[in-house]
Structure 1
Amino acid sequence: MELRMRGLRPNASGDAPSFTSLNTHRWAVCRPCAFRPCVPTWRLRLVPRALHQEGGGLGPLERELDAAILREDYEQAAVLRDKLREQREGNLSGVLQANAAFYKAFGDADLPAMEAVWGKSESVQVIHPVAGCIAGRDQVLSSWQLILEGGALDITIHNVRAAATDTIGWVTCLEATKAGSRTGRVLATNIFQREGSGWKLVHHHGSII
Structure 2
Amino acid sequence: MVLTSHFCSAAHLRQTSRWCSQRPSRVKSSEAEWNLDGEGTLVDEETLQQRLEAAIKEENYALAAKLRDDLRHLYEDSKAAVLAANSRFYNAFRKGDLVAMHSVWAKGDNISCVHPGAGTISGYELVMDSWDVVCGADHEFPIQIELKNVEVFVKGDVGYVTCLEVVKTKGSSWGKQVATNVFERVDGQWFICIHHASHVDL
Q: TM-score, normalised by structure 2?
A: 0.74
Relative contact order higher in (CA < 8 Å, ≥ 6 apart)? 1
Counterpart in 2 of 1:142? 129
- Give the one of 161, 164, 169 matched to 1:174: 164
Counterpart in 1 of 2:197? 206
* 2:46–2:156 contact (8 Å) kept in structure 1: no
Counterpart in 1 of 2:119? 132
Task: Describe the superposition over 1:46-83 as per-residue Cα deviations: whole angstroms up to 9, x where unpaired.
Answer: 94x426xxxxx933321211211221212221221122
AA partner of residue 195 (structure 1): V
AA partner of residue 155 (structure 1): I
Give the Cα separation in 1 of the matches to 2:70 and 2:185. Answer: 19
State the Cα distance separating 1:120 from its structure 2 match.
1.1
Instruction: Confirm or deny that 1:50 pairs with 2:26.
Output: yes
Q: TM-score, normalised by structure 1?
A: 0.72
Which runs of 4 or more aligned residues in structure 1 lie more than 2 Å from their structure 2 counterparts after TM superposition?
Answer: 57-60
Give the Cα separation in 2 of the matches to 1:95 and 1:64. Answer: 24
* 2:23–2:153 contact (8 Å) kept in structure 1: no
SS at match of 1:191: strand
Instruction: Confirm or deny that 1:193 pairs with 2:169.
Output: no
State the Cα distance separating 1:159 from its structure 2 match.
0.7
Task: Describe the superposition over 1:137-180 as per-residue Cα deviations: whole angstroms up to 9, x where unpaired.
Answer: 00000000100012421111111011101210011111111112
Counterpart in 1 of 2:82? 95
Give the direction of change, closer, same or farther, for the CA distance of 1:86–1:113 in structure 2 (3 Å limit): same
Counterpart in 2 of 1:70? 57
AA partner of residue 99 (structure 2): P
Instruction: Confirm or deny that 1:121 pairs with 2:112.
Output: no
Any gaps of 5 or more consecutive residues in structure 1? 1-44, 52-56
SS at match of 1:81: helix
Identity of aligned residues (%): 37
Q: How many residues align?
A: 159
Give the Cα separation in 2 of the matches to 1:87 and 1:179. Answer: 38
* 1:163–1:169 contact (8 Å) kept in structure 2: yes
State the Cα distance separating 1:181 from its structure 2 match.
2.0
State the Cα distance separating 1:100 from its structure 2 match.
0.6
* 1:162–1:171 contact (8 Å) kept in structure 2: yes
RMSD: 1.7
Give the Cα separation in 2 of the matches to 1:69 and 1:189. Answer: 36
AA partner of residue 173 (structure 1): C
SS at match of 1:72: coil
SS at match of 1:119: coil
Give the Cα separation in 2 of the matches to 1:121 and 1:46. Answer: 29
